[in-house]
Amino acid sequence: MCLSFQSDLISNIQYNRELASRYRQLRNDYILMKNDVLNRLEEKNKVENAIKDGKQVRRRKMCGLLTVVLLLVSVYKHVPVIPELKLHAHRYTKI
């Protein structure tokens, strides 16, 4: 009976080692996958921010161009220029 108990104990210890090894491998795989997902998320956020920045730049340029056009129309038609337009035009003529 004692030999049977020892052989069962040895086989259970071996099985436990195999399970522990498999657990460590799965945990490492999980960490690698999690890092990959986080890296891809960071890349996605960079691309989205670049798109937003581009849209803001285009919006500012369009606002500046519209201000310049309004100033030119007011000069062409001899209409008094609104003071706020002069301020905005000065800001956007450098773009």
Task: Count the neighbouring beta carbons within 10 Å of the beta carbon of residue 19.
Answer: 10
d(CA 17, CA 88): 73
CA-to-CA separations, 88 to 21, 57, 68, in angstroms, rounded: 68, 15, 8
**How far, in whole angstroms, is CA 19 from its chain's centroid?**
38
Tell me the percentage of the chain whose pLDDT exceeds 70.
77
Residue 39's domain comprises 2-92
Cα–Cα distance, 80 to 44 (Å, whole number): 48
* 21-48 pLDDT tens trace: 999 999 999 999 999 999 999 999 999 9
pTM over 0.85: no
Q: Could you give the angle at the alpha carbon of 57 between the alpha carbons of 60 and 51, nearest 5°?
A: 140
* Predicted confidence (pLDDT) per residue in 82-95, tens digit: 666 555 555 555 54
Number of domains in the chain: 1
Structure tokens belonging to residue 45: 């956020």
